[in-house]
Structure 1
């Protein structure tokens, strides 16, 4: 097990709570944004959580991975559905590396001297 999410998540929530005590408006704003995304409308909860999990991987957020993997499981996602969503995240990261590699090579070509 790379990260024990059962141990990690409560510690993370405690740390976020302390941040909220120090900066309540920040946490209130985040809660409003998160709540608006969670309400949804067209996408069901499972689909939203699969997207969130894939985004969590692309943004390299361990806390997001812990929270959204649990939420995806609770919403009924299967291991195969999670794996497929993660395959999309992997492909997107590779695509981003391809685009930024092209930009880097272009920048290199702009250098003089």
Structure 2
């Protein structure tokens, strides 16, 4: 298994290096990342739960490493995380169902064209 704490530290070092080479890229990302916090509509724990679900759907290990740590620090429980991950699983399955319907639609178009 991956040591997530070590991975997170290595990732932050590399992101720091990128920030030195391209500071506008890093500052732009930080502005985008922090924008949601400024509205105050969702609390930090909820934002981290959403971030974890999105991290799963986008398959981003770095996002998992950072947001799992942040979710714990914001007081998220394992049960809350599991529920958020259940939403991610359902959305991925739903997306596969929608794209399966698209395949069926493409097949129908192909059969009508011949």
TM-score for the superposition, normalised by structure 2? 0.91
* Cα deviation digits, residues 29-61 of structure 1 (max 9, x gap): 001111112334121111111011101101100
Moved more, 6-15 or 30-39: 30-39
In the comparison of the two structures, how many residue pairs are matched?
112
Deviation at 1:90, TM superposition (A): 0.3
Q: Where in structure 2 are the equivalents of 1:68-87 lying within 5 Å?
A: 68-87=67-86
What does residue 102 of structure 2 align with? Answer: 103
CA RMSD across the alignment: 1.2
The gaps in structure 1 that reach 5 residues or longer are none
Q: Which runs of 5+ in 2 are unaligned?
A: none
Distance 2:68 2:38 in 1: 18
Query: Within 1, Cα distance between the matches of 2:17 and 2:94?
Result: 37
Query: What is the TM-score of this pair, normalised by structure 1?
Result: 0.92
Further displaced range: 40-49 or 90-99:
40-49
Larger radius of gyration: 2
